Amino acid sequence: MASTSAAFGLSGKVGVITGATGAFGRAAARSLADAGARLVIAGANAQALRELEMQLNADGIRVKAKACRPDTEANARNLIDEAVAQFGAIDFVVVGSGTNDPAPIQDMTTEQWEHVMAANVRGSWLVCKAFATHCIETAQRGRVVLLSSTRGKLGLAAGYSAYCPSKAAIDGLTRTLACELGRYGINVNAIAPTVFRSELTAWMFADDDRGRAAREGMLARIPLGRLGEPEDLVGALQFLLSRASEFCTGQTLYIDGGYTAG
C-alpha cells in the first residue's frame, strides 16, 4: 500500500448498487462516487431512479441509472452487463435492495413471507451469482457487500418472522460465498445496521407518542445513545470495497451504535 489514505480510495473502480433509491442506496451512491467510483444505480421505481440520476449528475457525480429489480437471473446479469457496457468493467456490487412486511405469524400469509424472502435473499443470491460468474469468466477479482441487519442476529416481538430469518440467511450467504469464492479473489462481506433513518423508519423519528415510545425503547439498548443515519453506514461500506479490507472476507460488520454488544 502506498499510503493509508490511498488504500481507502475507489478511484477508477466500477460498481453496481441495487436499491439505489432507498436511504442507504442514495447515501452509498454519493459516498462511493466521492471516493472515485463510477456507478450503475439500480431500482424498481424508474421515475425516482431517473430523478436521482439527474440530481447526482448535476452535482458532478457520474452515475448511470438502470430501472431493474434483480428478481430473475436475466435481470441480475443485465445489471452486470450494463456496468461493463457503460464503463468497460465492473469491480464490485452493493446489494441494498430489500423489503419488510411485518405481521404476527398467525396473520402473515405465505405470500407475504415468500415476498420478503424473495426480495431479501433470492435477489441477493441472484446478484451474487451474476457478479461471481462474470468475475470467474473474466479471471477478475471483485468485492461484494450485502445488506444484513441486527435482526439477522436478534429476534423481535413485532411480527418479523419473515424479515429476521431473511437477514440471518444473508449472514449465512456472506460466510458461505466468502468460502466458495475466495479462491477466485472475490471478497464477500455484509454490513448490519440497527434502525437508521429512512422512509420506512421515519415514524420512529417522529415526535409523537408512537414514535417516542419506540425510539426510547431502542435507545435504552444503544450505548451510543442515538438511532442511526444513512451516512453512518457509508464509511464501513467504503472500507469493505477498498484495498484497505483486502484480507477481510466472510464478515458481517455491525453498525449499530453498540446495540448487539449488550
Which residues are catalytic, by number?
163
pLDDT value, residue 1? 47
Residue 208 maps to a domain = no
The pLDDT score that the predictor gives to residue 200 is 82
Question: Is 152:174 a contact under the CB 8 Å cutoff?
Answer: no
Angle in degrees, CA 112, 108, 174, rounded to 5? 55
Query: What pLDDT shows up at residue 6?
Result: 86
What whole-number distance in Å separates Cα of residue 148 and Cα of residue 255? 10
Q: Which domain holds residue 108?
A: 11-193+232-255
The CATH number that applies at residue 36 is 3.40.50.720
Q: What is the DSSP letter of 150?
A: G
Look at the chain and report how many structural domains it folds into.
Answer: 1
Closest CA to 171 of 259, 252, 254, 245: 252
Asked if residue 174 belongs to a domain, the reply is yes
User: Residue 123's closest CA among 219, 202, 16, 256?
Assistant: 16
Look at strands 186-193 and 142-147 and give their pairing: parallel
Q: Residue 220 domain-assigned?
A: no
Strands 92-95 and 63-67: unpaired
Strand, helix or coil at 159? coil
262 lies in some domain: no
Condensed to tens digits (0 to 9), the pLDDT of residues 166-177 reads: 999 999 999 999
Residue 207 lies in a domain: no
Q: What residue ranges of the chain have pLDDT lower than 70?
A: 1-2
Q: Is 225 part of any domain?
A: no
Confidence at residue 2, expressed as pLDDT on a 0 to 100 scale: 55
Classify residue 76: in a domain, yes or no.
yes
What would the grid cell of residue 189 be? 462481506
205 in a structural domain: no
pLDDT digits (tens, 9 = 90+) for 237-253: 999 999 999 999 999 99
Find out whether 256 and 53 touch, Cβ atoms under 8 Å: no
